[in-house]
Structure 1
Amino acid sequence: MKVNTQSVNFNADEKLLDYIQKRLDKLDLFYDRVTSAEVFLKVENTSAKDNKTAEVKLHVPKDVFIVKKQCKSFEEAVDSACGSLERKLVKKKRKPKVVNALKFF
């Protein structure tokens, strides 16, 4: 899967980018038609400890899933976002496909 990662107002190191790629590649286990993903990493200017935000936009045929999580570290935020995406992909996979009713008449 093609993953495009953008970090806002900082430079992400290779270790973080590799972690994001590996974690998002695991989503193929839940839904095999994932085409690409966009990840936006931001550091909020707050005094709170949970100031790291990860927003993941996942592209599948005929649908786009967007999840935004804020945690203490980027790894934790990406992991939490992927957990939410896993649930959404399983739900999409179980949803019955709509058949065009006009074909039968």
Structure 2
Amino acid sequence: MKITIQTPGFTGKPELLKFAEEHVQKFSHLSDRIMEGKVVLHIDKSDEKKNKVCDIRLAVPGNDLFATKTAGSFEEAIADTCQALRKQVEGWKELPTRSA
């Protein structure tokens, strides 16, 4: 699975990028039909302390799976987003596959 990580507005530390990549890579163990993972980490322009946002889109046959979460740290936002996506992947895997 190809993984793309974007950090618009700031330069992500290598540890953060590795953390995100490792978490998204785990989805390849759930299904070999997941083609690509796109991660966008950004900071919400608000006065809230929980302003770190993680968006993840998984490219799968049919409609892509998407989740976004906001937290106090990027690591927490990544973990929360992956947890939400895991539920979507499990539901998607139960759908019957269509042959062309």
Q: TM-score, normalised by structure 2?
A: 0.90
How far apart are the structure 2 equivalents of 1:82 and 1:2?
Answer: 16
CA distance in 1, matches of 2:9, 2:28: 30
Distance 1:99 1:72 in 2: 43
Matches within 5 A, 1:10-21: 10-21=10-21
Give the Cα separation in 1 of the matches to 2:44 and 2:85: 23
* Structure 2: distance between partners of 1:98 and 1:46: 44
Give the match for residue 94 of structure 1.
94
Which structure 1 residue ranges, 5 or more long, are not aligned?
101-105
Amino acid in the other structure paired with 1:29? H
Which residue identity lines up with residue 67 of structure 1 in the other structure? A
- Is the contact between residue 69 and residue 81 of structure 1 (CA under 8 Å) also seen in structure 2? yes
Contact 1:31/1:90 (8 A) holds in 2: no
**Structure 1 residue 75: Cα displacement:** 0.8
Q: Which residue of 1 aligns with 2:30?
A: 30
- Do structure 1's residue 61 and structure 2's residue 71 form an aligned pair? no
Distance 1:82 1:28 in 2: 12
* 1:36–1:60 CA contact under 8 A, matched in 2: yes
1:2–1:97: structure 2 CA closer, same or farther, 3 Å change rule? closer
TM-score (norm 1): 0.86
SS at match of 1:15: helix
Classify the secondary structure of the residue corresponding to 2:45: coil
How many Å separate the matches in 2 of 1:58 and 1:74? 19
